[in-house]
């Protein structure tokens, strides 16, 4: 839940840090990764829809519009207590969607537990006209490009 006057960016970074800290306090000799994501449409944070009706309303509102996903990432070194955190934005531009298109999509994929009411890694990609951002993985909830850079800085080479 956002704190009073907390922006979506501040919220998602705070939650990513809190998740990482909750695990880091119990671990030694580890790099702990925390991540969280919020979806913002028309200046409002969208929660997970939970059901068909809410998902339909979210997609109807997104039709022809841009929705921004903010993914917070925090990495804590449990030995040094050093922490790196950031927020990676990613914009999704929706096609103009008819009610029939929304209905077919929701019945096919039932993304009721997904922020924004879609699964971009599945059939949800058919809802978009354009995607913009540095790292498409941030759309699914973990900005891997940034994470690899942080791990490299910590001396852990992914490749």
**Residues acting as catalytic residues:** 36
Q: How many CB atoms lie within 10 A of CB 131?
A: 13
Phi, psi angle pair for 155, to nearest 5°: 90, 10
d(CA 157, CA 159): 5
Q: What's the token pair of residue 60?
A: 């109807």
d(CA 65, CA 48): 18
User: Tokens 């059939």 — which residue?
Assistant: 123
d(CA 155, CA 142): 20
d(CA 38, CA 115): 7
């Amino acid at each position: 839940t956002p704190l009073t006057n907390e922006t979506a960016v501040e919220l998602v970074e705070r939650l990513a840090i809190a998740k990482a800290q909750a695990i880091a306090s119990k671990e030694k000799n580890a790099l702990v990764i925390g991540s969280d994501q919020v979806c913002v449409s028309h200046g409002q944070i969208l929660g997970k829809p939970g059901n068909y009706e809410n998902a339909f309303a979210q997609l109807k509102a997104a039709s022809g519009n841009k929705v921004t996903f903010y993914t917070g990432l925090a990495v804590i070194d449990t030995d040094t207590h050093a922490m790196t955190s950031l927020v990676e934005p990613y914009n999704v531009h929706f096609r103009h969607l008819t009610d029939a298109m929304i209905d077919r999509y929701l019945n096919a994929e039932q993304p009721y537990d997904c922020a924004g009411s879609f699964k971009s890694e599945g059939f949800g990609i058919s809802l978009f006209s354009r995607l913009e951002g540095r790292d498409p993985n941030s759309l699914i909830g973990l900005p891997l490009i940034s994470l690899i850079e942080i791990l490299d800085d910590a001396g852990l080479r992914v490749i």
